[in-house]
Amino acid sequence: MKFENPDPFQQTIARTFTYTTTAFLIGATFYLFTSNLISLTLRPDWIGTAMLLLYGLAYGNITYFITRRYLRREFTFNIFSYLIGLIVLFPTVLLVKMKGNVFPAWQNELFFFTVITGGMLIGIWKGRIKGAQMFQELKAKRAADS
């Protein structure tokens, strides 16, 4: 293997591995810093609703930025952009399940996971659109420079 001049497939593998570890790390870090706030989503007033929406928005933004950044380059695995969101959500789901006593009822847990999954899916959708747009702009700029 020549590492001085890697071919596009090697670059894609390296970028995919980097984005996988980054998405997992960001998902775990976000959960660890905000795990004490999850109990606020159980409140029956407007504060609980606002916290639940903030969690959905936060996971949507995280996946938006990672997906957008991944897709703005030429050599990518197109299907991987969908997996980025699952990788970001995995630490949260795993740690909530391992902790066990975060939610008093399974309905609350299901609702929380539904909201953050919805935010993640919207983030992927918008990130794919913006990433493709940024890639086209980059391609047009390269063509104009040539």
User: Could you give the angle at the alpha carbon of 140 between the alpha carbons of 134 and 144, nearest 5°?
Assistant: 145
Q: Is the pLDDT confidence value at 81 over 80?
A: yes
Nearest-angstrom CA–CA distance, 73 and 79 = 14
pLDDT greater at residue 126 or residue 10: 126
Q: Interhelix angle for 46-71 vs 106-145, to 10°?
A: 30
Q: Which two tokens stand for residue 125?
A: 């959708």
Rounded to two decimals, the pTM is 0.85
Specify the pLDDT at position 3: 62
Q: Report DSSP state, residue 79.
A: T
- pLDDT, mean over the chain: 87
Confidence class of residue 29 from pLDDT cuts 50, 70 and 90? Answer: very high
Nearest-angstrom CA–CA distance, 17 and 51 = 32
**What average pLDDT does this structure show over 20-37?**
90
pLDDT over 70 percentage in the chain: 98
Q: Where are the alpha helices (DSSP H) in the chain?
A: 8-34, 46-71, 80-99, 106-145
Specify the pLDDT at position 53: 93
Q: How many CA atoms lie within 13 A of 136 on its CB side?
A: 6
